[in-house]
Amino acid sequence: MKHSTEHRVGIIMNGVTGRMGMNQHLLRSIVAIIQQGGVKLSNTEHIMPDPILVGRNREKLESLSSSSGISKWTTDLDSALGDPSYAIYFDAQTTLRRYENVMDAIKAGKHVYCEKPTAVSTERAYELYVEAEKKRVKHGVVQDKLWLPGLIKLQSLNESGFFGKILAIRGEFGYWVFEGHSVPSQRPSWNYRKEDGGGVIVDMLCHWRYVLDNMFGKVRSVSCLGATHIKERWDENGLPYKCTADDAAYATFQLDNDIIAHFNSSWVTRVRRDDLLTLQVDGTKGSAVAGLRNCLIQPYEATPRPVWNPDIEQPIDFYKNWIPVPSAGEYDNAFKVQWELFLRHVIKDDPFPWNLLEGARGVQLAEKGIESWEKHCWLDIPELKAV
Protein backbone atom coordinates (compact mmCIF):
# COMPACT_ATOMS: atom_id res chain seq x y z
CA MET A 1 0.00 0.00 0.00
CA LYS A 2 1.44 3.37 -1.03
CA HIS A 3 1.64 6.12 1.58
CA SER A 4 0.50 9.61 0.67
CA THR A 5 2.93 12.47 1.20
CA GLU A 6 1.54 15.87 2.16
CA HIS A 7 3.72 18.95 1.98
CA ARG A 8 2.06 21.39 4.37
CA VAL A 9 3.12 24.99 3.65
CA GLY A 10 2.50 27.80 6.09
CA ILE A 11 1.54 31.05 4.33
CA ILE A 12 1.39 34.49 5.96
CA MET A 13 -1.33 36.35 4.04
CA ASN A 14 -1.07 40.08 4.68
CA GLY A 15 -3.65 42.51 3.28
CA VAL A 16 -6.36 40.01 2.38
CA THR A 17 -9.12 42.04 4.06
CA GLY A 18 -9.05 44.24 0.92
CA ARG A 19 -11.22 43.47 -2.11
CA MET A 20 -8.56 41.95 -4.37
CA GLY A 21 -6.68 40.11 -1.65
CA MET A 22 -9.86 38.62 -0.20
CA ASN A 23 -11.66 37.62 -3.38
CA GLN A 24 -8.91 36.57 -5.77
CA HIS A 25 -6.09 35.44 -3.49
CA LEU A 26 -7.77 34.11 -0.37
CA LEU A 27 -11.19 32.81 -1.40
CA ARG A 28 -10.70 31.92 -5.07
CA SER A 29 -7.11 30.74 -4.75
CA ILE A 30 -5.92 29.49 -1.34
CA VAL A 31 -9.32 28.43 0.05
CA ALA A 32 -10.18 26.84 -3.31
CA ILE A 33 -6.87 24.93 -3.29
CA ILE A 34 -7.56 23.68 0.24
CA GLN A 35 -11.08 22.61 -0.74
CA GLN A 36 -9.82 20.66 -3.76
CA GLY A 37 -7.41 18.72 -1.54
CA GLY A 38 -4.28 20.74 -2.21
CA VAL A 39 -2.01 20.99 -5.24
CA LYS A 40 -1.66 17.50 -6.66
CA LEU A 41 1.91 16.53 -7.53
CA SER A 42 1.21 12.83 -8.15
CA ASN A 43 -1.23 10.15 -7.06
CA THR A 44 0.58 9.95 -3.72
CA GLU A 45 1.89 13.47 -3.18
CA HIS A 46 0.32 16.91 -2.76
CA ILE A 47 0.91 20.40 -1.36
CA MET A 48 -1.50 21.73 1.27
CA PRO A 49 -1.56 25.45 2.09
CA ASP A 50 -1.79 26.36 5.79
CA PRO A 51 -2.56 30.09 5.88
CA ILE A 52 -2.68 32.67 8.63
CA LEU A 53 -4.51 35.93 7.96
CA VAL A 54 -2.68 39.14 8.88
CA GLY A 55 -3.97 42.69 8.97
CA ARG A 56 -4.40 45.80 11.10
CA ASN A 57 -8.16 45.59 11.72
CA ARG A 58 -9.13 42.95 14.28
CA GLU A 59 -12.85 43.08 13.44
CA LYS A 60 -12.24 42.58 9.71
CA LEU A 61 -9.91 39.66 10.41
CA GLU A 62 -12.41 37.98 12.73
CA SER A 63 -15.17 38.36 10.14
CA LEU A 64 -12.97 37.08 7.30
CA SER A 65 -11.79 34.16 9.40
CA SER A 66 -15.39 33.18 10.06
CA SER A 67 -16.53 33.51 6.44
CA SER A 68 -13.48 31.84 4.87
CA GLY A 69 -13.00 29.00 7.30
CA ILE A 70 -9.37 29.99 7.91
CA SER A 71 -9.15 29.86 11.68
CA LYS A 72 -5.73 31.43 12.25
CA TRP A 73 -5.31 35.20 12.16
CA THR A 74 -3.22 37.89 13.86
CA THR A 75 -2.58 41.63 13.89
CA ASP A 76 1.06 40.98 14.86
CA LEU A 77 3.02 40.65 11.61
CA ASP A 78 6.39 40.50 13.36
CA SER A 79 5.27 37.50 15.38
CA ALA A 80 4.13 35.70 12.22
CA LEU A 81 7.41 36.49 10.44
CA GLY A 82 9.29 35.07 13.41
CA ASP A 83 7.33 31.80 13.35
CA PRO A 84 9.31 29.07 11.52
CA SER A 85 6.12 27.17 10.69
CA TYR A 86 5.35 29.77 7.99
CA ALA A 87 7.60 29.44 4.95
CA ILE A 88 5.86 31.95 2.62
CA TYR A 89 4.95 35.60 3.04
CA PHE A 90 2.25 36.99 0.73
CA ASP A 91 1.47 40.70 0.42
CA ALA A 92 -1.69 42.25 -1.04
CA GLN A 93 -1.58 45.54 0.86
CA THR A 94 -1.69 48.97 -0.71
CA THR A 95 1.49 49.82 -2.60
CA LEU A 96 2.83 52.27 -0.02
CA ARG A 97 3.02 49.54 2.64
CA ARG A 98 4.47 46.77 0.48
CA TYR A 99 8.21 47.44 0.28
CA GLU A 100 8.90 47.52 4.02
CA ASN A 101 6.94 44.36 4.84
CA VAL A 102 8.24 42.36 1.88
CA MET A 103 11.81 43.37 2.76
CA ASP A 104 11.23 42.32 6.39
CA ALA A 105 9.93 38.96 5.17
CA ILE A 106 12.94 38.43 2.93
CA LYS A 107 15.33 39.26 5.78
CA ALA A 108 13.39 36.80 7.96
CA GLY A 109 14.17 34.09 5.40
CA LYS A 110 10.64 33.75 4.04
CA HIS A 111 9.86 32.95 0.43
CA VAL A 112 7.85 35.89 -0.87
CA TYR A 113 4.95 36.21 -3.26
CA CYS A 114 3.30 39.59 -3.68
CA GLU A 115 0.98 41.79 -5.66
CA LYS A 116 2.17 44.57 -7.90
CA PRO A 117 3.42 47.24 -8.01
CA THR A 118 6.10 45.74 -5.79
CA ALA A 119 7.29 49.20 -4.64
CA VAL A 120 6.77 52.89 -5.30
CA SER A 121 10.03 53.24 -7.26
CA THR A 122 12.18 51.14 -9.58
CA GLU A 123 15.12 51.48 -7.19
CA ARG A 124 13.20 50.00 -4.28
CA ALA A 125 11.56 47.29 -6.39
CA TYR A 126 14.99 46.25 -7.66
CA GLU A 127 16.33 46.26 -4.08
CA LEU A 128 13.71 43.65 -3.15
CA TYR A 129 14.89 41.44 -6.00
CA VAL A 130 18.57 41.82 -5.09
CA GLU A 131 17.92 41.11 -1.41
CA ALA A 132 15.83 38.03 -2.22
CA GLU A 133 18.62 36.67 -4.38
CA LYS A 134 21.16 37.47 -1.67
CA LYS A 135 19.08 35.64 0.97
CA ARG A 136 18.48 32.79 -1.49
CA VAL A 137 14.73 32.81 -0.91
CA LYS A 138 12.26 32.05 -3.68
CA HIS A 139 10.19 34.96 -4.90
CA GLY A 140 7.30 35.70 -7.22
CA VAL A 141 5.03 38.51 -8.34
CA VAL A 142 1.38 38.21 -9.34
CA GLN A 143 1.06 38.46 -13.14
CA ASP A 144 -2.45 37.11 -13.40
CA LYS A 145 -3.45 38.23 -16.88
CA LEU A 146 -1.10 35.69 -18.45
CA TRP A 147 -3.53 32.97 -17.37
CA LEU A 148 -6.74 34.56 -18.60
CA PRO A 149 -8.43 32.24 -21.13
CA GLY A 150 -8.58 34.95 -23.81
CA LEU A 151 -4.88 35.71 -23.52
CA ILE A 152 -3.97 32.01 -23.40
CA LYS A 153 -5.75 31.61 -26.74
CA LEU A 154 -3.96 34.69 -28.09
CA GLN A 155 -0.60 33.29 -27.03
CA SER A 156 -1.37 29.97 -28.72
CA LEU A 157 -2.13 31.80 -31.96
CA ASN A 158 1.16 33.65 -31.71
CA GLU A 159 3.13 30.47 -31.04
CA SER A 160 1.48 28.74 -34.02
CA GLY A 161 2.56 31.52 -36.40
CA PHE A 162 -1.02 32.55 -37.17
CA PHE A 163 -0.21 36.27 -37.32
CA GLY A 164 2.79 36.07 -39.62
CA LYS A 165 4.81 39.18 -38.78
CA ILE A 166 3.08 41.06 -35.96
CA LEU A 167 2.68 44.71 -36.86
CA ALA A 168 0.79 46.32 -34.00
CA ILE A 169 -1.12 45.64 -30.79
CA ARG A 170 -3.98 47.74 -29.45
CA GLY A 171 -5.22 47.37 -25.90
CA GLU A 172 -8.39 48.90 -24.51
CA PHE A 173 -8.91 48.62 -20.77
CA GLY A 174 -11.33 50.20 -18.35
CA TYR A 175 -14.88 51.19 -17.52
CA TRP A 176 -16.82 54.00 -15.87
CA VAL A 177 -16.00 54.20 -12.16
CA PHE A 178 -18.77 56.18 -10.50
CA GLU A 179 -17.75 59.28 -8.58
CA GLY A 180 -19.57 58.19 -5.41
CA HIS A 181 -21.95 61.11 -4.85
CA SER A 182 -25.11 59.41 -6.16
CA VAL A 183 -23.97 55.92 -7.22
CA PRO A 184 -21.43 54.08 -5.03
CA SER A 185 -17.92 53.90 -6.47
CA GLN A 186 -16.58 50.49 -7.52
CA ARG A 187 -13.02 51.32 -6.50
CA PRO A 188 -11.46 52.54 -3.22
CA SER A 189 -10.85 56.26 -2.89
CA TRP A 190 -7.08 55.90 -2.42
CA ASN A 191 -6.89 54.90 -6.11
CA TYR A 192 -7.48 58.57 -6.97
CA ARG A 193 -4.98 60.12 -4.55
CA LYS A 194 -1.38 60.26 -5.70
CA GLU A 195 -0.14 60.73 -2.14
CA ASP A 196 -1.69 57.35 -1.22
CA GLY A 197 -0.11 55.51 -4.15
CA GLY A 198 -3.06 55.85 -6.52
CA GLY A 199 -3.16 56.41 -10.26
CA VAL A 200 -4.01 54.32 -13.31
CA ILE A 201 -0.46 54.58 -14.73
CA VAL A 202 1.05 53.02 -11.59
CA ASP A 203 -1.74 50.45 -11.51
CA MET A 204 -1.93 49.33 -15.13
CA LEU A 205 1.45 49.85 -16.84
CA CYS A 206 2.85 47.13 -14.56
CA HIS A 207 0.32 44.78 -16.18
CA TRP A 208 1.05 45.87 -19.73
CA ARG A 209 4.79 45.34 -19.15
CA TYR A 210 4.49 41.66 -18.33
CA VAL A 211 1.81 41.03 -20.96
CA LEU A 212 3.93 42.57 -23.72
CA ASP A 213 7.27 41.17 -22.51
CA ASN A 214 5.96 37.63 -22.15
CA MET A 215 3.71 37.44 -25.19
CA PHE A 216 5.06 39.69 -27.93
CA GLY A 217 8.46 41.25 -27.30
CA LYS A 218 10.47 43.27 -24.82
CA VAL A 219 9.31 46.85 -24.27
CA ARG A 220 12.11 49.19 -25.40
CA SER A 221 10.56 52.67 -25.15
CA VAL A 222 7.40 54.46 -24.04
CA SER A 223 5.41 57.61 -24.72
CA CYS A 224 2.63 58.17 -22.21
CA LEU A 225 0.05 60.86 -21.56
CA GLY A 226 -1.90 60.75 -18.33
CA ALA A 227 -4.94 62.75 -17.29
CA THR A 228 -7.03 63.46 -14.23
CA HIS A 229 -10.32 63.90 -16.03
CA ILE A 230 -12.57 63.93 -12.95
CA LYS A 231 -11.29 66.38 -10.34
CA GLU A 232 -13.54 65.50 -7.39
CA ARG A 233 -14.94 62.24 -6.04
CA TRP A 234 -16.65 61.06 -2.85
CA ASP A 235 -14.98 58.64 -0.46
CA GLU A 236 -16.23 55.64 1.53
CA ASN A 237 -17.71 57.95 4.17
CA GLY A 238 -19.62 60.03 1.62
CA LEU A 239 -17.22 62.97 1.89
CA PRO A 240 -15.89 64.82 -1.18
CA TYR A 241 -12.15 64.78 -1.86
CA LYS A 242 -9.82 66.21 -4.47
CA CYS A 243 -8.48 63.75 -7.06
CA THR A 244 -4.70 64.10 -7.30
CA ALA A 245 -3.92 60.95 -9.31
CA ASP A 246 -4.46 60.16 -12.98
CA ASP A 247 -7.68 58.34 -13.89
CA ALA A 248 -6.72 57.69 -17.53
CA ALA A 249 -3.52 56.92 -19.44
CA TYR A 250 -2.83 56.84 -23.15
CA ALA A 251 0.45 54.99 -23.73
CA THR A 252 2.38 53.85 -26.79
CA PHE A 253 5.19 51.32 -26.58
CA GLN A 254 7.91 50.26 -29.02
CA LEU A 255 8.77 46.57 -28.74
CA ASP A 256 11.38 44.29 -30.24
CA ASN A 257 10.89 43.38 -33.91
CA ASP A 258 9.46 46.82 -34.79
CA ILE A 259 6.14 46.05 -33.07
CA ILE A 260 4.08 49.05 -31.93
CA ALA A 261 1.65 48.65 -29.03
CA HIS A 262 -0.85 51.22 -27.82
CA PHE A 263 -2.93 50.89 -24.65
CA ASN A 264 -5.74 53.12 -23.45
CA SER A 265 -6.34 52.60 -19.71
CA SER A 266 -9.27 54.49 -18.28
CA TRP A 267 -11.60 54.60 -15.29
CA VAL A 268 -13.69 57.24 -17.05
CA THR A 269 -14.85 55.44 -20.19
CA ARG A 270 -18.11 53.72 -21.05
CA VAL A 271 -17.65 50.28 -22.56
CA ARG A 272 -18.66 49.57 -26.14
CA ARG A 273 -16.41 46.64 -26.93
CA ASP A 274 -16.41 42.92 -26.26
CA ASP A 275 -15.03 43.06 -22.70
CA LEU A 276 -13.51 45.28 -20.01
CA LEU A 277 -10.12 44.43 -21.51
CA THR A 278 -9.60 43.74 -25.21
CA LEU A 279 -6.37 43.18 -27.09
CA GLN A 280 -6.28 43.40 -30.88
CA VAL A 281 -3.21 41.99 -32.59
CA ASP A 282 -2.70 42.76 -36.30
CA GLY A 283 -0.28 40.74 -38.38
CA THR A 284 0.52 40.21 -42.03
CA LYS A 285 -1.39 36.91 -42.12
CA GLY A 286 -4.28 37.70 -39.82
CA SER A 287 -5.66 39.52 -36.81
CA ALA A 288 -7.17 38.51 -33.48
CA VAL A 289 -9.19 40.23 -30.78
CA ALA A 290 -9.05 38.76 -27.29
CA GLY A 291 -11.09 39.59 -24.22
CA LEU A 292 -10.81 38.10 -20.75
CA ARG A 293 -12.21 34.73 -21.83
CA ASN A 294 -12.91 34.75 -25.57
CA CYS A 295 -10.81 35.28 -28.66
CA LEU A 296 -11.82 35.90 -32.28
CA ILE A 297 -9.65 35.69 -35.40
CA GLN A 298 -9.83 37.07 -38.92
CA PRO A 299 -7.31 35.39 -41.25
CA TYR A 300 -6.01 37.08 -44.38
CA GLU A 301 -8.40 35.12 -46.60
CA ALA A 302 -11.47 36.30 -44.65
CA THR A 303 -10.44 39.97 -44.48
CA PRO A 304 -13.01 42.25 -46.18
CA ARG A 305 -11.94 44.80 -48.80
CA PRO A 306 -13.58 48.08 -47.79
CA VAL A 307 -13.66 51.17 -50.01
CA TRP A 308 -14.00 54.62 -48.47
CA ASN A 309 -17.32 56.18 -49.40
CA PRO A 310 -18.98 58.36 -46.73
CA ASP A 311 -21.95 59.10 -49.00
CA ILE A 312 -23.60 55.69 -48.53
CA GLU A 313 -24.46 53.45 -45.59
CA GLN A 314 -21.56 51.15 -44.77
CA PRO A 315 -22.28 47.90 -46.68
CA ILE A 316 -19.88 45.78 -44.63
CA ASP A 317 -20.71 44.43 -41.19
CA PHE A 318 -17.24 44.54 -39.66
CA TYR A 319 -18.31 42.31 -36.79
CA LYS A 320 -18.85 39.44 -39.24
CA ASN A 321 -16.07 37.32 -40.70
CA TRP A 322 -14.51 36.84 -37.28
CA ILE A 323 -14.08 33.23 -36.18
CA PRO A 324 -14.19 32.21 -32.48
CA VAL A 325 -11.14 30.36 -31.19
CA PRO A 326 -12.38 27.22 -29.41
CA SER A 327 -11.52 26.57 -25.79
CA ALA A 328 -8.93 23.90 -25.07
CA GLY A 329 -10.73 22.40 -22.07
CA GLU A 330 -11.62 24.12 -18.80
CA TYR A 331 -9.79 27.22 -17.55
CA ASP A 332 -9.20 27.75 -13.85
CA ASN A 333 -9.06 31.09 -12.03
CA ALA A 334 -5.96 32.94 -13.27
CA PHE A 335 -4.81 33.90 -9.76
CA LYS A 336 -5.23 30.33 -8.52
CA VAL A 337 -3.24 28.93 -11.46
CA GLN A 338 -0.27 31.13 -10.62
CA TRP A 339 -0.56 30.35 -6.91
CA GLU A 340 -0.32 26.65 -7.69
CA LEU A 341 2.74 27.25 -9.85
CA PHE A 342 4.41 29.23 -7.07
CA LEU A 343 3.68 26.53 -4.50
CA ARG A 344 5.23 23.95 -6.83
CA HIS A 345 8.21 26.26 -7.23
CA VAL A 346 8.70 26.46 -3.46
CA ILE A 347 8.27 22.73 -2.78
CA LYS A 348 9.60 21.10 -5.96
CA ASP A 349 11.74 23.88 -7.42
CA ASP A 350 9.65 23.95 -10.60
CA PRO A 351 10.53 26.92 -12.87
CA PHE A 352 8.88 30.22 -11.97
CA PRO A 353 10.19 33.13 -14.07
CA TRP A 354 7.62 35.68 -12.83
CA ASN A 355 9.82 36.92 -10.02
CA LEU A 356 10.74 40.17 -8.25
CA LEU A 357 12.95 41.18 -11.17
CA GLU A 358 9.87 41.05 -13.41
CA GLY A 359 8.03 43.04 -10.76
CA ALA A 360 10.75 45.69 -10.82
CA ARG A 361 10.45 45.90 -14.61
CA GLY A 362 6.75 46.61 -14.24
CA VAL A 363 7.43 49.41 -11.75
CA GLN A 364 10.09 50.74 -14.11
CA LEU A 365 7.65 51.05 -17.01
CA ALA A 366 5.09 52.84 -14.82
CA GLU A 367 7.78 55.20 -13.56
CA LYS A 368 8.99 55.91 -17.11
CA GLY A 369 5.39 56.42 -18.19
CA ILE A 370 4.91 59.12 -15.57
CA GLU A 371 8.23 60.73 -16.52
CA SER A 372 7.22 60.69 -20.19
CA TRP A 373 3.95 62.43 -19.30
CA GLU A 374 5.79 65.08 -17.28
CA LYS A 375 8.40 65.72 -19.98
CA HIS A 376 6.13 65.21 -23.01
CA CYS A 377 8.66 62.93 -24.70
CA TRP A 378 9.60 59.39 -25.70
CA LEU A 379 11.79 57.56 -23.18
CA ASP A 380 13.94 54.47 -23.64
CA ILE A 381 13.63 51.66 -21.09
CA PRO A 382 17.03 50.68 -19.64
CA GLU A 383 17.64 46.99 -19.06
CA LEU A 384 17.36 45.81 -15.45
CA LYS A 385 19.98 43.11 -15.10
CA ALA A 386 19.62 39.80 -13.33
CA VAL A 387 22.10 39.19 -10.51
Model confidence over 324-355: pLDDT tens digits? 999 989 999 999 999 999 999 999 999 999 99
* Gap between the Cα atoms of 53 and 31, Å rounded: 12
Q: Are residues 132 and 177 in the same domain?
A: no
- φ/ψ bin of 254: left (φ > 0), alpha (ψ from -120 to 50), beta (otherwise): beta
Q: What angle do CA 113, 116, 117 make, to 5 degrees?
A: 130
Cis peptide before 51, with omega less than 30 degrees from 0? no
pLDDT (tens digit per residue) in 119-173: 999 999 999 999 999 999 999 999 999 999 999 999 999 999 999 999 999 999 9
- Domain contains 385: no
| Cβ burial, residue 82 (10 Å; 0-12/13-18/19+) | exposed
287 belongs to a structural domain: yes
Co-location of 132 and 179 in the same domain: no
Decide: 283 and 252 in contact? Cβ < 8 Å.
no
Has residue 386 been placed in a domain? no
Residue 306's contacts (CB-CB under 8 Å, 6 or more residues apart) are 316
Q: Is residue 384 part of a domain?
A: no
Domain membership of residue 122 as a residue range: 5-144+334-355
* CA 176/CA 271 separation, integer angstroms: 8
Residues 110, 113, 118: CA angle, nearest 5 degrees? 110
Number of domains in the chain: 2
Average pLDDT taken over every residue of the chain: 97
Q: Are residues 124 and 201 in the same domain?
A: no
Same domain? For 77 and 180 the reply is no
Question: How confident is the model over 279-316, as pLDDT tens digits?
Answer: 999 999 999 999 999 999 999 999 999 999 999 999 99
Same domain, 85 and 179: no
Please tell me the distance from the alpha carbon of residue 243 to that of residue 193, in angstroms, as a whole number: 6
In this structure, the answer to whether residues 154 and 297 fall within a common structural domain is: yes
For the chain, give percent helix, strand, coil, nearest 5: 35, 25, 40
